[in-house]
Amino acid sequence: MKTRIKELRARYGFTQEDLAKIVGVRRETILFIEKGNYNPSLQLAHDIAKALQTTIDDLFIFDD
């Protein structure tokens, strides 16, 4: 699964640390999600999408 987290983070000027703090996880967790090495829970996905002012559909690109 790919994500647009890095792209949207850059748009809003968030570092991984900033985003991690907003959604209540460690910076490494954001890194893992960005690299596709961790699938976040629905709640976390929602929180990240909300922080980046987008939707889950727009944020995560699923391999169909």
Partner 1 sequence: MKLSRASYPTMFAFILILVILPTIESFSEELRKYFFLPILIIVIFLMGIGIFLAIKDKEIIHTKTDERTKKVDKYAGYYSWWITFFFIFIAGFMAEILGFSIRQLMYLIFSEMLLTLLLLHMYFNLKGKF
First to last CA, the chain: 10
Of positions 26, 55, 56, 61, contacts partner 1 by CB under 8 A = 26
Give bridge partners of residue 61 from the DSSP assignment. Answer: 2
The rounded Cα 25 to chain-centroid distance in angstroms is 11
Of positions 4, 6, 18, 44, contacts partner 1 by CB under 8 A = 44
Residue 6: count other Cβ atoms within 10 Å of its Cβ.
16
- The mark string for 1-20 relative to partner 1 (x by CB under 8 A, - otherwise) is --------------------
Residues that bind partner 1 (CB under 8 A): 21, 24-26, 28-29, 32, 38, 40-41, 44
